[in-house]
Amino acid sequence: MGWAVYNEPRTKNRPVARQPVHLTAIYPGSFDPATNGHLDVIERGSKLAGRLIVAVLRNESKQPLFSTAERMEMLAEVVRPFPNVEVASFDGLLVDFASQCQASLILRGIRAISDYEGELQMALMNRRLRPEIETVFLMAGEQYSFVSSRLVKEIFRLGGDVSGLVPPAVACRLRERMASV
Amino acid sequence: MGWAVYNEPRTKNRPVARQPVHLTAIYPGSFDPATNGHLDVIERGSKLAGRLIVAVLRNESKQPLFSTAERMEMLAEVVRPFPNVEVASFDGLLVDFASQCQASLILRGIRAISDYEGELQMALMNRRLRPEIETVFLMAGEQYSFVSSRLVKEIFRLGGDVSGLVPPAVACRLRERMASV
Amino acid sequence: MGWAVYNEPRTKNRPVARQPVHLTAIYPGSFDPATNGHLDVIERGSKLAGRLIVAVLRNESKQPLFSTAERMEMLAEVVRPFPNVEVASFDGLLVDFASQCQASLILRGIRAISDYEGELQMALMNRRLRPEIETVFLMAGEQYSFVSSRLVKEIFRLGGDVSGLVPPAVACRLRERMASV
Amino acid sequence: MGWAVYNEPRTKNRPVARQPVHLTAIYPGSFDPATNGHLDVIERGSKLAGRLIVAVLRNESKQPLFSTAERMEMLAEVVRPFPNVEVASFDGLLVDFASQCQASLILRGIRAISDYEGELQMALMNRRLRPEIETVFLMAGEQYSFVSSRLVKEIFRLGGDVSGLVPPAVACRLRERMASV
Amino acid sequence: MGWAVYNEPRTKNRPVARQPVHLTAIYPGSFDPATNGHLDVIERGSKLAGRLIVAVLRNESKQPLFSTAERMEMLAEVVRPFPNVEVASFDGLLVDFASQCQASLILRGIRAISDYEGELQMALMNRRLRPEIETVFLMAGEQYSFVSSRLVKEIFRLGGDVSGLVPPAVACRLRERMASV
Amino acid sequence: MGWAVYNEPRTKNRPVARQPVHLTAIYPGSFDPATNGHLDVIERGSKLAGRLIVAVLRNESKQPLFSTAERMEMLAEVVRPFPNVEVASFDGLLVDFASQCQASLILRGIRAISDYEGELQMALMNRRLRPEIETVFLMAGEQYSFVSSRLVKEIFRLGGDVSGLVPPAVACRLRERMASV
């Protein structure tokens, strides 16, 4: 295999720049609860941006299983190994929140089995609302292609075993929740 | 709208890091020829990575319209406004080339109308070959959702007007090519 | 480029007919509210049929943002420039309404990002119920590929700017609605 | 079920027009050979437009099974029952041919199982080349959802029975072709 | 056409086995109500497994049109011609129910127009929960590609004719239900 | 969790049958070469049918990497652990070959990332040609969702490591092939 960087005609004019990039990225979601698929995206995303904000949507109208505070606590546990990742919550427009955080990236995970078209629709709409914020898609591992918060909750509710699908901190909370009911 | 960064339980232990990131990204393709959709991805990608290498696949077996050298010359023209973007060519495995360039990102554009599944298949395979290299998907503008190199060449060959679909440098070369035939 | 109409073997038998067509088409939907994507389909459809009826579904059970009367008033404003377009409402089966209007076409817009399969399912079912009524699909402009009534309402509710996504008459009503809340 | 045509606020200003429409439509394809799915679209399309031109693409480079003349002869047989349908051939850009025929519509069939995205890509490109020509999609019957010219030829080549998949005129030619080989 | 069973290098070592298979399969669903598409899958599935259990999900939370008992009665009528098919109901995890029935197969119908990705997601999750149970997909006839319980109920509610879409036993119950309202 | 087999109204009339099933299934493909995804389907399929014939398509026109004989030899190695699986080759129509083998099932693997629509089209066509033969879809493990013969060959040709993607017998042959070139 051979290859050749093609810079003869250009480098006469100017040297190629190596810009250090200080990007802040937002990874938004309901995280009700966070799954191992989410964790996989967080880990990958933490290498992509200088600062990654995992942003929990405060969608009270949808009757989540866990309160916003609980979801944030579980995520705080989950992101502890990643020094440049923090946890926040938001309501209102995602792009407005991103702008307040001076984030220039929205991070989304896509799966082999996923609402691909819904993701694109949302991303195009967000671009129209604030063109300066870019949506970036990462691909979760194929072993998470079938894991969603909705399915995890359904299996948990029906008495199935969800360890291996969610981080230990989440599995623990799910068991507590079950015991208290 | 309100929001709250959730850092109380964590910042007691350690301050949140702001890491400057020096990433090199590869944007691979045939670019036979580059379209305005490619240019859109290059412009967006140049803000994401510290250094972006547009990498032309030397697929001689596929009988391209333009030689590798011609494709690189057109791209060099196209990327001139972006100081951290350079042009290269490669054959062999993309992930091997990325590794030689010390690139940690592969950049791919996805379109509303696109070979989504083919993109995912390639990205999963590349991850298996070299897990340390991440594939990142950006979304080209919806106005480019129907523009592909293949379609541009077909329209050009049938006498249609492709200005507006390709950068001026490419339109110029296409006209030269037509005149010489 | 050359081409040849192939009529030698047939025109001996009979001249080719040029039939004036007096078709009535129905463009059904919830239109809660009408978007610029809907307007685009109406404009294209008005050239296709002699008479186009924009038909508002009276789906009271779904708790629309605007009443049927309001939705019809906004549409009446929107279709004013098109002399062969009128506005109606219906409940019951769409094909029954179409039959009462002596419409032989159902008009649907499809988008690059869209519920394509749901559209086909509905069209096949409608054909089974009344085979004499044809469903015809037009393609909205790619700049509307991400615009849906649902998304417009969500952005409006979260304080985002929806001008450019909806006709002025609709934007105006949305602002009035917001002010009154 | 009830319904109400909403024309009070408008009909004060002007009566609703009933425009007779004299549209010419093009139904392009390779038709190598025509299938019953094509025939279904032709029959439906003949009711939609005043004049329908079935346009055979002269794609000699693709080594068709039947010559352009043969494909046109079979189609002439097939369209005989429809007085406003004629058969032509073209090369070059479809929209240029449509323009020469003063056609304002391009007719395409879509199937439940079909290259939906390829169809949209082509339609958006054609719109960009000539915005005044509209692409209209009809849905072939679900019994034809798996019938394509390519598959018909493959089955025929392997000795399978294709009657019921193609019009009698085509089945006859296929048998002749087999006998002569 | 020719073909050759390739067993020379192996049959020296051992004869090829012909194992009689005594498989039990589960065909789960809401069946609210059963459609002709479901009946088609039952008929095909009854030839695949030694014993087929049509398993009605007791999803009381979703406010079904028919009670679990009613749905089971209708199905019992429908499966009468198939001696190896029986009807059951379940709640809890499907794979747990399958295990209790000593079923090793889950049977699912897929349609040309269908929630393909949702089916795969569910099947992968079920495999993770109990790897010893296999999900098998059959394809309903293309004439049922647009028939779903949801659509049947909607058409019935709006006064449309659903005979031909559902088995006679179901059509009869639907009429009774309508008369009683 | 509770459940109840619903057999009261029926078992009065007749006992539920438990039919032993002696099905022969065909698993057709090019297998140029067999991958671990194919092997996964073979293993699952061997439990489904009493006899499973892995059938290699003799597509000489497509210039395969391995000859039909080589592909059969590799498969014979691969299927050795499964006593009810044998290897054959065929040309002509698949359903004719299935009929000659007295097979009533065609087995196909589907992947999360796959040509789903092409599979359905082929299956519907095969059903039309021989309605008595059923196509059954199994789902390969998600870890094989990106593995295809085409991709394996491309990576091998470019010098990448394909062990883990193909059975050892195939990896060995690929290395021999490389050494001999």
Q: State the pLDDT at residue C8.
A: 40
Catalytic residue status for C14: no
Residue D51 CB-half CA count within 13 A: 18
Q: Is D116 on the interface with E (CB under 8 A)?
A: no
d(CA B115, CA B96): 24
Residue type present at position F80:
R
| Mean pLDDT across chain B | 87
Query: What residues contact D72, with CB distance under 8 A and at least 6 apart?
Result: C6, D56, D87, D88, D89
- Percent pLDDT > 70 in chain D is 86
pLDDT band at B75 (very low <50, low <70, confident <90, very high): very high
**For the residues B65-93, what does the mean pLDDT come to?**
96
F6/chain A closest Cα distance in angstroms: 22
Supply E51's token pair. Answer: 């014993």
Do B146 and C142 make contact, defined as CB atoms within 8 angstroms? yes
C33 pLDDT higher than 60: yes
* pLDDT tens, residue by residue, D68-97: 999 999 999 999 999 999 999 999 999 999
Q: E159 CA to chain F: closest CA distance, Å? A: 31
Determine the pLDDT at residue F16.
Answer: 55
Residues B1-21 have pLDDT tens digits of 334 444 444 434 445 555 556
Residue E86, beta-bridge partner list: E53
Going from the N-terminus, what domains does chain B have, and what CATH number goes with each?
A: 10-146 (3.40.50.620)
pLDDT band at F3 (very low <50, low <70, confident <90, very high): very low
Share of chain F above pLDDT 70, in %: 86
Residue A8 clears pLDDT 60, i.e. is over it: no
Amino acid in position D34: A
Q: Is the pLDDT of residue E2 over 70?
A: no
* Chains F+C touching (3+ CB pairs under 8 Å): no
Calpha distance D104→A66 (Å, rounded) = 57
Q: What is the mean pLDDT of chain F?
A: 87
Using CB atoms, pick whichever of C22, C83, C116 lies closest to residue D14. Answer: C83
The closest alpha carbon to C161, from C178, C144, C181, belongs to C178
Token digits of residue C138:
């037009």
Mean pLDDT of E144-171: 92
Among B115-119, D111-115, F13-17, the range scoring the smallest mean pLDDT is F13-17
Q: What is the band of A18 on the pLDDT scale with cuts at 50, 70, 90?
A: low
The enclosing H or E element of A177 equals: helix A168-180
DSSP per residue over D48-103, as a string?
HSSEEEEEEE--GGG--SS-HHHHHHHHHHHHTT-TTEEEEEE-S-HHHHHHHTT-
Q: Tell me which H or E stretch contains E138.
A: strand E134-139
pLDDT at E8: 41
Over range E21-45, report the average pLDDT.
94
Rg (alpha carbons) of chain C, rounded to whole number: 19
The predicted pLDDT at position C180 comes to 76
pLDDT at C135 over 60: yes
Q: Answer whether F134's CB lies under 8 Å from E138's CB.
A: yes
Question: Of the ranges A162-176, E23-37, E103-117, which one carries the lowest mean pLDDT score?
Answer: E103-117
Q: What order of strands is seen across the sheet that includes strand C105-110? A: C3-6, D85-90, D51-57, D24-29, D105-110, D134-139, C134-139, C105-110, C24-29, C51-57, C85-90, D3-6
Most confident of A12-26, D2-16, E137-151: E137-151
E120 contacts chain A (CB < 8 A): yes
Higher pLDDT, F129 or F111: F129
Q: Which of F14, F84, F89 sits opposite E6 (nearest CB)?
A: F89
Question: What are the chain F neighbours of E100 within 8 Å (beta carbons)?
Answer: 3
Check whether C3 has a pLDDT greater than 90: no
How far apart (Å, rounded) are the C-alpha atoms in residues A85 and A64?
24
Do the Cβ atoms of A45 and A78 come closer than 8 Å? no
Q: Which among E114, E151, E159 has CB closest to C125?
A: E151
Question: Residues A73-127: pLDDT tens digits?
Answer: 999 999 999 999 999 999 999 999 999 999 999 999 988 666 778 888 899 999 9
ipTM: 0.87
Q: Which H helix or E strand runs over B57?
A: strand B51-57
Q: Would you call A60 an interface residue with chain B, using a CB distance cutoff of 8 Å?
A: no
- Are the CB atoms for A40 and A14 separated by under 8 Å? no
Percent of chain C with pLDDT over 70: 86
pLDDT (0 to 100) of residue D2: 39
Task: Check residue B132 and give its pLDDT.
Answer: 95
Q: How far is F158 from chain B (nearest CA, A)?
A: 5
User: In the structure, what pLDDT confidence band is assigned to residue B145 with cuts at 50, 70 and 90?
Assistant: confident
Most confident of C94-108, D9-23, F15-29: C94-108
Q: Inter-chain contact E146–C129, Cβ cutoff 8 Å? A: no
- Once rounded to an integer, what is the mean pLDDT over residues B148-152? 93
What sign for the dihedral angle of Cα C25, C30, C32, C37?
negative
F117 touches chain D (CB under 8 A): yes
- E104-111: average pLDDT: 93
At residue E164, does pLDDT exceed 70?
A: yes
Number of other CB atoms surrounding residue C117 within 10 Å: 18
F5-35 pLDDT tens trace = 444 444 444 455 555 568 999 999 999 999 9
Q: Does F84 touch chain B (CB under 8 A)?
A: no
> Average pLDDT, whole number, for chain E?
87
Kindly report the length of chain C: 181
Q: How confident is the model at residue C14 (pLDDT cuts 50, 70, 90)?
A: very low
Assess whether pLDDT exceeds 90 at residue E178: no
What is the model's pLDDT at position E20?
58
Using DSSP, state whether C66 is helix, strand or coil: coil
pLDDT at C17 over 70: no
Please tell me the predicted confidence (pLDDT) of residue C19.
56
CB C154 within 8 A of CB C161: no
**pLDDT confidence of residue D5:** 46
Q: Which DSSP helix (H) or strand (E) runs through F88?
A: strand F85-90
Instruction: Give the DSSP letter string of B136-152.
Output: EEEE--GGGTT--HHHH
Max intra-chain CA distance, chain C:
72
Instruction: Determine the distance from the C-alpha atom of residue A128 to the mean position of all C-alpha atoms in its chain, rounded to a whole number.
Output: 21
Band the pLDDT of B88: cuts 50, 70, 90: very high
| C22 noted as active-site residue | no
Q: Are A167 and A39 in contact (CB under 8 A)?
A: yes
Q: What is the pLDDT of residue A74?
A: 97
F163 interfaces chain A, CB cutoff of 8 Å: no
- Copy the structure tokens of residue C25: 């088409």
Decide the pairing of beta strands F85-90 and F51-57: parallel
pLDDT of the residue at C123: 92
Residue (of B123, B127, B132) closest to B23 by Cα position: B132
Contact A83, B11 (CB under 8 A): no
Tracing tokens 């394909």 back to the chain, one arrives at F162
pTM to 2 decimals? 0.89
On chain E, the residues whose CB falls within 8 A of the CB of F18 are 22, 50-51, 84
Supply the pLDDT for residue D11: 39
Q: What distance in Å separates residue B22's CA from the closest CA in chain C?
A: 34
Asked whether the predicted pLDDT for residue F152 surpasses 90, the reply is yes
3-state secondary structure of F106: strand
* Residue D155 tokens, joined: 């089955």
Cβ-Cβ contacts under 8 Å, E141 against chain F? 127
**pLDDT higher than threshold 60 for residue F76:** yes
B39-48: pLDDT as tens digits: 999 999 999 9
Cis, bond preceding C64 (omega within 30 deg of 0): no
C104: pLDDT strictly greater than 80:
yes
Which one of C3, C114, C142 would you mutate to disrupt binding with B, by most B Cβ within 10 Å of its Cβ? Answer: C142
Q: B154 touching C, CB under 8 A? A: no
D62 is an active site residue? yes
pLDDT exceeds 70 at position B130 = yes
The model's confidence at residue F2, banded by pLDDT at 50, 70 and 90, is very low
Q: Check residue E117 and give its pLDDT.
A: 80
The predicted model gives A19-40 an average pLDDT of: 90
User: Which residue carries 């499973």 as its tokens?
Assistant: F52
Of the candidates E121, E155, E129, which has an alpha carbon nearest to the alpha carbon of residue E35? E155
Angstroms from B113 CA to nearest CA on chain D: 6
Looking at residue D1, its pLDDT comes to 34
F146 touches chain B (CB under 8 A): yes
Tell me which of E16 and B126 has the higher pLDDT. Answer: B126
**For residues F88-116, average pLDDT:** 91
Q: Which of C158-172, E13-27, F29-43, F125-139 has the lowest mean pLDDT?
A: E13-27
Spatial distance between the Cα atoms of E98 and B101, rounded to a whole number of angstroms: 53
Give the model's confidence band at D62: pLDDT under 50 very low, under 70 low, under 90 confident, else very high.
confident
Mean pLDDT, chain D, integer: 87
Among candidate residues B127, B62, B120, B64, the one with its CA nearest the CA of residue B93: B127
Stretch among A8-12, C162-166, D75-79, E111-115 having the lowest mean pLDDT: A8-12
With an 8 Å Cβ cutoff, are E145 and D143 in contact?
no
Angle, CA of F56, F57 and F62, to the nearest 5°: 130
Picking from A113, A142, A158, the nearest residue to F146 by CB comes out as: A142
Taking only the tens place, the pLDDT of each residue in D23-33 is 999 999 999 99
